[in-house]
Amino acid sequence: MRHMLDATREAQSLIRGKKREDLDSDRLLGLAVVRLLEVLGEAAGRVSKEGRQNNPDIPWPQIIGLRNRLIHGYDSVDMDIVWGIMTKDLPPVIGALEKVIRGT
């Protein structure tokens, strides 16, 4: 779960102060964000079944599914969806992961 938290924090730091259009105009930013989301999903897939069951606040199937979609659909990634995930979906995941890692 530490890798998940590290990837999400890094992804969030990359978009801080950015706009949606920056994902289109800054190719390296777009590639980096997508890669970090892939890492997030890969790390989530490595969490034990028990670890996932004990942490139901984390949307495990969606995170793992996102990784699969990004890897296998690399040629048709919708950056509007990526931006939505980054700005709306990841902040609560970060909070949940921080809570788990703190043990609270």
What confidence tens digit (pLDDT) does each residue in 69-78 have? Answer: 999 998 999 9
pLDDT band at 103 (very low <50, low <70, confident <90, very high): confident
Which token pair is 44? 């989530």
Query: Does residue 104 carry a pLDDT above 70?
Result: no
Tokens of 50: 């028990």
pTM given for the model: 0.94
Active site residues: 67, 72
User: Do 11 and 30 meet the contact criterion of CB atoms below 8 Å apart?
Assistant: no
The answer on pLDDT for 94 being more than 80 is yes
Whether the pLDDT of residue 62 is over 70: the answer is: yes
Q: Which two tokens stand for residue 53?
A: 């069951």
Domain ranges for the chain, please list them. 2-102
